[in-house]
Amino acid sequence: MSRTISIIKKEEAYSYDELAFILENIIPNAVERRNTLSQVFMKLTESVEKSRTSQAVFFMPKESFDIIALLQGNNAVCEIKKDDIDALSSAFDFIENRNDDFLHSHLQKKISVLKEYLQSGRAVYPVPIQADDFCIVKIS
């Protein structure tokens, strides 16, 4: 049975459907930090659920976030740590045929970009943003 979902091609932003797919299909494969990842991604999906066709979660660099937080207040959804993203990235290793499936490959690439960014000692804060560059894809 196939269905359509909305994705965002930008590597720093995640649509509601992408977040929900990670929560439902990737996190159950996580060996480490599964409960923490579930809680984090539940908060992320809930933050854009009501506006799923117009909002996305953006992983904002700490430097930018600090400036915006001074002006607009703290609108970070939750805290996300390097260990969380490392565990999520490792969960892809347990998915069969992940390289043959567009959505798995797409999400794995996005998580890898975030992981590389965090490994250089930088930090990010997930914040809801307005988004209009959604792409509809069909998945099985």
Buried b vs exposed e over 87-104: b needs ≥16 C-beta within 10 Å? bbbbbbeeeeebeeeebb
What pLDDT was estimated at residue 79?
86
Kindly report whether the global pTM for this prediction surpasses the value 0.75: yes
| Residues paired with residue 60 on neighbouring β-strands, in sequence order | 125
**Closest C-alpha among 24, 43, 51, 69 to residue 132:** 51
Segment 11-21, tens digit of pLDDT: 999 999 999 99
Q: What is the DSSP letter of 31?
A: S
The rounded distance, in Å, linking the Cα atoms of 22 and 37 is 10
